[in-house]
Chains A and B, each alone.
Chain A
């Protein structure tokens, strides 16, 4: 399995305050909604990633395969392995198609 990396043409940043607020809401059992925690700009158009997407995006640093990312997420999220594999697969194939991710 190849490692994944972010397309360097994509400008992005973690909106740390929002990320902390969303994590806090989740810990308190509240619904954080679809509030974006990572801001991403592709050719002048802005997009946002939600907490799970943003976390996966940050893990895609050119050293990890999809399986590595699932393993890292399993430490942070109390979700079944199958669900994590499905989430990572869906997210990465969408972003590969958009050209935001590349195979390392």
Chain B
């Protein structure tokens, strides 16, 4: 898609998995069964150099748990010195006051903590970790104490979709700036456990109608959804930078070994940041260009919302059908 890469010479964000290792073993996790060689600090800094050279403004460390890598602070300090805006997502277990101070000193712009329920026992059960909720909330408090912007991420599933307001209240009580209500992805364990965790399309619709109304009426906290399928709803008033999924357009994902995938939920390797020419991958990758040029298949072909929705979440369509262009399985139309 010549026009797209003509406008964007590189993505705006790299979601970067430094390690698939994690101190948790959550039932919805996309990456528990993933494995990849990890790179040295020097190699990671070389990748930071490439991203700085390509003027990628944001990197967001995810995982696995970013804090299991002891060099996280050094890497972030280096990336910040190169002008990148650094953030991360964590389960909060290792994020005590001392860690929060180090994150702040390393230049992190914001830190996201995953909390799936305002009910401590439910969160601990979902995350298969006794005490996880207490430490996650403790992490939010530590971030607040050191003055580092915090966000809260909840993956919406059967366990919490009717109780998202309590999650917003929990965020308020802990000085959180922004809440991400993430759509459930059918990848990794999320795919295996989807019968148990995923909502039906009608339930998704009901959830989003309600959550959008709450979002539009809320001024004290920012609420974000990353789900393109909501573009077909009447209450949807956003004007996103690109239509449909932003993966492969505004964002890419880095695996621990430097391999690039369109997003963390699509296991197709586009190339390697250390070994391949990034500009060539960005412009000419068949995978990326297929994602940027989806065709309306199935019911999308006659749908009036296609222009703004572009078939919904490409990762979910691919996970369930093997085809980027099939309709998002969450679609209620």
Chain A interfacial positions (CB closer than 8 Å to B) = 11-18, 36, 39, 41, 44-46
Given A39-B8, A41-B12; A14-B55 close (CB under 8 Å): yes
Q: Given known contacts A16-B9, A45-B239, is B55 in contact with A11 (CB within 8 Å)? A: no
CA distance A15 to B6 in the complex (A): 9
> Is there a chain A Cβ closer than 8 Å to B85's Cβ?
yes
Q: Which secondary structure characterizes the binding site on chain B?
A: loop
Q: How far is the CA of A23 from the CA of B15 in the complex (A)?
A: 34
The answer on a CB contact under 8 Å between A13 and B6 is: no
What is the bound-complex CA distance between A18 and B8, given in angstroms? Answer: 10
A13 touching B55, Cβ below 8 Å: yes
Q: Are B57 and A13 in contact (CB under 8 A)?
A: yes
Residues of B contacting A39 in the complex (Cβ-Cβ under 8 angstroms):
7-8
CA–CA, A12 and B56, complex, Å: 10
Per the bound structure, the CA–CA distance linking A13 and B54 in Å amounts to 9
The answer to whether B239 and A17 touch across the interface, beta carbons within 8 angstroms, is no
| Interface membership of B241, Cβ < 8 A | yes
Q: In the complex, which range does the number of interface residues on chain B fall in?
A: 10 to 19
For the complex with contacts A11-B58, A41-B12, 20 further pairs of A-B residues with Cβ separation under 8 Å are A11-B12, A11-B85, A12-B57, A13-B55, A13-B57, A14-B55, A15-B7, A15-B9, A16-B9, A18-B6, A18-B9, A36-B7, A39-B8, A41-B57, A41-B241, A44-B240, A44-B241, A45-B239, A45-B241, A46-B241
Q: A interface, by DSSP: helix, strand, loop or mixed?
A: strand
**In the complex, which residues of chain A have a beta carbon less than 8 angstroms from the beta carbon of B85?**
11
B240 cross-chain contacts in A, Cβ below 8 A: 44
In the complex, chain A residues whose CB is within 8 Å of the CB of B12: 11, 41
| Chain B residues positioned under 8 Å from A36 (CB to CB) | 7
C-alpha spacing A56/B58, complex, angstroms? 24
Closest to A18 in B: B6
Bound Cα distance A39, B55 (Å): 11
State in angstroms the CA–CA spacing of A32 and B256 once bound together. Answer: 42
Chain A contacts of B58 at CB under 8 A? 11
- What's the Cα separation between A85 and B8 when bound, in Å? 31
Closest CB in chain A relative to B143 CB, distance in Å: 20
Contact sample, A vs B, 26 pairs, CB 8 Å cutoff? A11-B12, A11-B57, A11-B58, A11-B85, A12-B57, A13-B9, A13-B55, A13-B57, A14-B55, A15-B7, A15-B9, A16-B9, A17-B9, A18-B6, A18-B9, A36-B7, A39-B7, A39-B8, A41-B12, A41-B57, A41-B241, A44-B240, A44-B241, A45-B239, A45-B241, A46-B241
